[in-house]
């Protein structure tokens, strides 16, 4: 049986608020928000672009270094923006 985090009273499965202390019951498996998924994806693409940019210095398999570097700068700005939005949401 699940218990309240505030007062340790027993809770039913479908309760959203504790009947004793009226504290909200946190969801069991909260879904990730779109902003979190977007931030994770942008971080992965950024790391990939770092590797491609470094690879473009040593091989001809990738586009030119300057094209990769320009894409890396743009992704860095998007990554910073996504990280700032995520920290702003967590403060609320």
Tell me the sheet residues that pair with 24: 17
Are residues 89 and 47 part of one domain?
yes
User: Which residue segment(s) compose the domain that 48 sits in?
Assistant: 31-92
- Full-model pTM: 0.63
Are residues 69 and 51 part of one domain?
yes
- pLDDT value of position 16: 84
- Number of domains the chain contains: 2
CA–CA distance, 41 with 36 (Å, rounded to integer): 9
Are residues 72 and 41 part of one domain?
yes
pLDDT tens for the chain, 92 residues long, are 688 888 988 888 888 888 888 888 887 777 778 888 888 999 999 999 999 999 999 998 999 999 999 999 999 999 999 888 888 776 65
Q: For residues 18 and 11, is the Cβ–Cβ distance under 8 A?
A: yes
Are residues 35 and 23 part of one domain?
no
Are residues 60 and 19 part of one domain?
no
DSSP state of 83: H
Are residues 48 and 11 part of one domain?
no
């Amino acid at each position: 049986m699940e218990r309240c985090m505030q007062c340790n009273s027993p809770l039913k499965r479908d309760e959203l608020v504790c009947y004793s202390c009226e504290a909200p019951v946190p969801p069991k498996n909260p879904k990730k928000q779109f902003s979190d998924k977007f931030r994770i994806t942008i971080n992965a693409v950024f790391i990939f672009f770092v590797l491609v940019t470094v690879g473009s210095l040593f091989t001809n398999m990738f586009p030119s270094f300057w094209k990769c570097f320009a894409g890396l700068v743009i992704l860095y700005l998007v990554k910073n923006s996504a990280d700032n939005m995520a920290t702003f949401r967590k403060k609320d």
